[in-house]
């Protein structure tokens, strides 16, 4: 990788609209970066050129944990018709060269760009060509590209990379947002819970057990809104690999997001209260992540009996994952 600072400064963010080619789908017109631009480690005035067929590569680590749009500026000299960008929202293990969107530890999303179509313009890195894509990064999340997959005669160029932070103007219950539907909004109007758009485990008796075959306490005692993610982490740490409710949510990669979890008792109740606008729930019992003791865990009825009860962990109930925003 060679930064070429001899070139003119990158084009203005007010440049004209450009054609996008993402995931090899039909090109579409897009605007220049929106939101508040945040630049990673490389200076926004650098142009990076990688010669095709070489082992040259470059990574851009997220400025900090957060939710971003991703934008790549393409210099006019770029000739790559098949430049590949890998988005690792949770970072990547040293030496790991695979890219799998279903990897629970290091999910990777691959975006392919025809740089000749986007020459001298901006490309938004999107999931399934969705301009509403918002990537949720941990502090180790990164974007990478390399020249190993393009012909020797082509040049892969990047003039500028922008992580554009995004704050929606208004959120409403049931709104499609960040991989699912909004099921709860707190008093700030900017944060809350997003429910997956469908159940991860079906209704009883075809659902999934809460426990992993052993009667143990996991320490997942939180019941309030905001405790489900910590509960899920504690359950998975205590119970390990296997097929059970919390692990199902913890492994979920959906809509470009990998931070799903099993809701706490009160979080699950919010899903029940807003079940009509969220949609897709069965007339059944759903597991929460709130443990009562060695044998019993809290659940929520979504049918005629809507009460919260604690029940035996071995029963196969339904699961709906959530994530916080």
What confidence category does residue 174 fall into, taking pLDDT thresholds of 50, 70 and 90? very high
pLDDT digits (tens, 9 = 90+) for 97-106: 889 999 988 9
- 176-177/180-185 β-pairing: antiparallel
Q: Is residue 290 part of a domain?
A: yes
How far is it, in rounded angstroms, from Cα 89 to Cα 255? 12
Q: Which of 256, 244, 115, 283 is nearest to 194 (CA)?
A: 256
Domain of residue 251 covers 176-324
Instruction: Indicate whether 6 pLDDT > 80.
Output: no
Residues 17 and 136 placed together within one structural domain of the fold: yes
Which range is least confidently modeled, 23-27, 29-33, 252-256? 23-27
- How high is the pLDDT of residue 63? 86
- How high is the pLDDT of residue 167? 59
- How high is the pLDDT of residue 43? 59
Question: Does an H or E element contain 235, and which?
Answer: helix 228-239
Mean confidence (pLDDT) of the chain: 85
Residues 22 and 42 placed together within one structural domain of the fold: yes
How far is it, in rounded angstroms, from Cα 270 to Cα 314? 24
Residues 234 and 146 placed together within one structural domain of the fold: no
Residues 256 and 188 placed together within one structural domain of the fold: yes
Q: Which of 4, 173, 169 is nearest to 78 (CA)?
A: 4
Residues 293 and 255 placed together within one structural domain of the fold: yes
Instruction: Indicate whether 273 pLDDT > 50.
Output: yes
Residue 100 CB contacts under 8 Å (≥ 6 apart), including other chains: 107, 108
Residue owning tokens 């040049």? 155
- How high is the pLDDT of residue 29? 30
Report the domain count for the chain: 2
Instruction: Indicate whether 1 pLDDT > 60.
Output: no
Q: What is the CATH number of the domain that holds 209?
A: 3.10.100
Q: Is residue 52 part of a domain?
A: yes
pLDDT digits (tens, 9 = 90+) for 42-87: 656 677 889 999 888 899 999 888 888 999 989 888 999 999 999 9
What confidence category does residue 169 fall into, taking pLDDT thresholds of 50, 70 and 90? low
The β-bridge partners of 110 are 86
Q: Is residue 128 part of a domain?
A: yes
Could you give the dihedral angle defined by the CA atoms of residues 57, 23, 178 and 94, in that order, rounded to the nearest 10 degrees?
-30
Residues 147 and 199 placed together within one structural domain of the fold: no
Please state the φ and ψ torsions of residue 157, each to the nearest 5 degrees. Answer: -125, 145
Q: Is residue 34 part of a domain?
A: yes
What confidence category does residue 114 fall into, taking pLDDT thresholds of 50, 70 and 90? very high
Question: Where is the domain boundary, 139, 165, 191?
Answer: 165
**Strands of the 57-61 sheet, one edge to the other:** 57-61, 142-146, 83-88, 109-113
Residues 195 and 157 placed together within one structural domain of the fold: no
- How high is the pLDDT of residue 42? 65
Please state the φ and ψ torsions of residue 69, each to the nearest 5 degrees. Answer: -85, 155
Q: Is residue 196 part of a domain?
A: yes
Residues 218 and 274 placed together within one structural domain of the fold: yes
Residues 206 and 126 placed together within one structural domain of the fold: no
Q: Which of 296, 299, 280 is nearest to 288 (CA)?
A: 299
What confidence category does residue 24 fall into, taking pLDDT thresholds of 50, 70 and 90? very low
Q: Is residue 111 part of a domain?
A: yes
317 within 8 A of 287, measured Cβ to Cβ: yes
217 within 8 A of 207, measured Cβ to Cβ: no
pLDDT digits (tens, 9 = 90+) for 117-154: 888 888 999 988 888 788 889 889 999 999 998 999 99
Mean pLDDT for the stretch of residues 216-245: 97
Residues 47 and 114 placed together within one structural domain of the fold: yes
Q: Alpha carbon of 280 to those of 97, 274, 315, 320: distances in Å? A: 37, 11, 21, 10
Q: What is the CATH number of the domain that holds 82?
A: 2.60.120
- How high is the pLDDT of residue 48? 84
Q: Is residue 170 part of a domain?
A: no
- How high is the pLDDT of residue 70? 93
Residues 186 and 156 placed together within one structural domain of the fold: no
Question: Where is the domain boundary, 145, 165, 185?
Answer: 165
Q: Is residue 171 part of a domain?
A: no
Question: Where is the domain boundary, 165, 195, 212?
Answer: 165
Number of H helices, E strands in the chain: 4, 21
How far is it, in rounded angstroms, from Cα 260 to Cα 93? 20
Q: Give 48 or 214, the one with higher predicted confidence.
A: 214
Q: Give 74 or 321, the one with higher predicted confidence.
A: 321
Q: Give 84 or 2, the one with higher predicted confidence.
A: 84
Mean pLDDT for the stretch of residues 240-251: 97
Q: Indicate the pTM of the whole model.
A: 0.58
- How high is the pLDDT of residue 27? 26
Residues 139 and 188 placed together within one structural domain of the fold: no
Residue owning tokens 């790991």? 96
Please state the φ and ψ torsions of residue 297, each to the nearest 5 degrees. Answer: -135, 150
Which range is least confidently modeled, 1-10, 123-132, 159-168, 276-285? 1-10
121 within 8 A of 15, measured Cβ to Cβ: yes
- How high is the pLDDT of residue 44? 60
């Amino acid at each position: 990788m060679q930064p070429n600072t001899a070139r003119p400064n990158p084009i203005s963010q007010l440049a004209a609209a450009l054609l996008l080619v993402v995931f090899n789908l039909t090109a579409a017109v897009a605007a220049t970066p929106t939101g508040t631009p945040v630049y990673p480690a490389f200076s926004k005035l650098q142009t990076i050129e990688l010669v095709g067929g070489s082992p040259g590569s470059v990574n851009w680590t997220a400025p900090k944990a957060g939710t971003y749009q991703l934008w790549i500026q393409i210099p006019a000299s770029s000739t790559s018709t098949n430049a590949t960008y890998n988005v690792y929202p949770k970072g990547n293990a040293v030496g790991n060269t695979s890219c799998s969107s279903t990897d629970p530890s290091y999910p990777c999303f691959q975006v392919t760009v025809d740089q000749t179509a986007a020459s001298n313009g901006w490309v938004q890195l999107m999931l399934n060509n969705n301009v509403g894509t918002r990537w949720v990064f941990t502090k180790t999340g990164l974007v990478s590209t390399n020249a190993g997959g393009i012909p020797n005669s082509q040049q892969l160029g990047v003039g500028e990379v922008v992580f554009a932070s995004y704050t929606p103007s208004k959120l409403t219950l049931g709104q499609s947002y960040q991989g699912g539907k909004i099921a709860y909004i707190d008093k700030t109007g900017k944060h809350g819970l997003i429910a997956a758009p469908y159940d991860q485990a079906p209704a009883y008796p075809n659902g999934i057990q809460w426990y992993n075959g052993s009667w143990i306490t996991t320490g997942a005692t939180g019941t309030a809104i905001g405790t489900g993610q910590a509960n899920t982490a504690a359950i998975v740490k205590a119970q390990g690999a296997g097929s059970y409710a919390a692990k199902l949510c913890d492994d979920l990669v959906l809509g470009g997001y990998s931070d799903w979890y099993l809701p706490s008792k009160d979080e699950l109740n919010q899903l029940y209260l807003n079940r009509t606008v969220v949609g897709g729930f069965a007339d059944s019992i759903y597991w929460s992540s709130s443990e009562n003791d060695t044998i019993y865990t809290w659940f929520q009825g979504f049918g005629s009996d809507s009460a919260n009860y604690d029940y035996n962990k071995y029963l196969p109930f339904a699961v709906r994952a959530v994530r916080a925003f």
